[in-house]
Structure 1
């Protein structure tokens, strides 16, 4: 079974939602047969790469909140994160463009390191003092290396603006086609969708239902026909 998760590194509910989904997946009896793929979604796609500002400033401008309201929201998110065993800095974080992170995640997917990298990116953005935005590409290279990726290869991806850009845009178009207007957005076997950072129990129910309703392959028997197999190919008979 395949689970696709559309997320953005700048999205706190994606950080919390991943922890809740991971908890449900860990308890799922068929977890070894579940492939998890992280897909790209930018919450702020029009933000220039160098446009970095404090999270509270971004919230007040984007949503018309007061500073007090924005801070209260961050405190609430901190409590939600703590309930899932996650660290969350409620003050002093910044916000910026995440396109390069998504490009790097597509590279990591090819190397089998995508889940490790996204976990490190989330932690770096929400729990650590060092910024994932203000320090440039070398900060992302450090995180890529921590995830098991080659430093020079990661650096080359980040230095080429076209590398994996099409893959990121394709993910975003597909999210729109599936009706995802926000993240996290979970798609199970292209049969079920779960929107938002639902409780682990909801993810557990979705996994069980999607697994139970998987359709076994139905073969159409039109009589024997030539085919190739482990022992070779059938030789046509006159």
Structure 2
């Protein structure tokens, strides 16, 4: 089992939350638990650089390296008043662990996807805990964290394509169509003909005003299945938003009572 700590190393509650997780794991009597830091901002305007360093630490050295870097970041920020948003400070701290980081080589696409995943599952700030798609926020006690782990222990692992579809759907529901398209990109490349992938992408394109791209996907969906009334309705709305009323009319006439 993996518990993910969505924490901002510049946030005041970061190590309070971490200490409570450590206390919870001392009470835990189930299968071994891997603890991984994930990127979340305490302040949406904050710097992502310390989070990117922690992400890169995990990607290159696993939980041991990440935990060592996280501890140094916290001590430097909280006890020494260091500016841990400064790239030179971050590099110097990482070197104290025996690691020479190369943030230019960090996978920023995967890092952005991880932040979007947090948003999709309901992480709204730092700190938060998650197992799979379950999220625990607030100020839980160690005992409550243990109960959360027990409740999450039997959740099935989802195939990556199903997980991505669910995350993209959640991001659309949270009014982030561009984020949904980031999550959908690998599915569009590998399963671009799948109608479920196409429909989610079309909705995201429509919601982000990329109307020509929405039109292309929706036209293909309607041609494939003329009885797909939602695709037909959305195609009509796409034409309508482009000022193409004559093309929109027949689609909307068939469907407007269903969806308006």
**Greater strand share, 1 or 2?**
1
**CA displacement, residues 84-133 of structure 1 (integer Å, 9 cap, x when unaligned):** xxxxxxxxxxxxx4311111112100212112211221222122243324
Report the counterpart of residue 12 of structure 1 in structure 2.
Answer: 12
Matches within 5 A, 1:14-93: 14-30=14-30, 33-46=32-45
Indicate the structure (1 or 2) with the bigger Cα radius of gyration. 2
After the TM superposition, list the runs of 4 or more consecutive aligned residues in structure 1 that deviate by more than 6 angstroms. Answer: none
Higher relative CO (CA 8 A, sep ≥ 6), structure 1 or 2?
1
Unaligned stretches of 5+ residues in structure 1: 47-96, 217-238
Distance in 2, matches of 1:102 and 1:215, equals 28
Establish whether residue 210 from structure 1 lines up as the match of residue 160 from structure 2: no
SS for the counterpart of 2:13 is: helix
User: TM-score, with normalisation over the residues of structure 2?
Assistant: 0.53
- The secondary structure found in structure 1 opposite 2:106 is coil
Equivalent in the alignment of 2:173: none
Tell me, yes or no, if structure 1 residue 142 matches structure 2 residue 92.
Answer: yes
Q: Of 165, 170, 174, which residue of structure 1 is paired with 2:113?
A: 170
User: What is the aligned-residue RMSD (CA, Å)?
Assistant: 2.4
Query: Quick check: 1:102–1:168 contact (8 Å CA) kept in 2?
Result: no
Matched, 1:101 2:50: yes
Deviation at 1:163, TM superposition (A): 3.3
Distance 1:17-1:197 versus aligned 2 partners, 3 A rule = farther
Aligned partner (choices 132, 139, 143) of residue 197 of structure 1: 139
Shift of 1:171: 1.8
Q: Does 1:131 align with 2:80?
A: no
Aligned counterparts of 1:149 and 1:27: Cα–Cα separation in 2: 32
Bigger fraction of residues in helix: 2
What CA distance in whole angstroms lies between the structure 2 residues aligned with 1:29 and 1:146?
Answer: 34
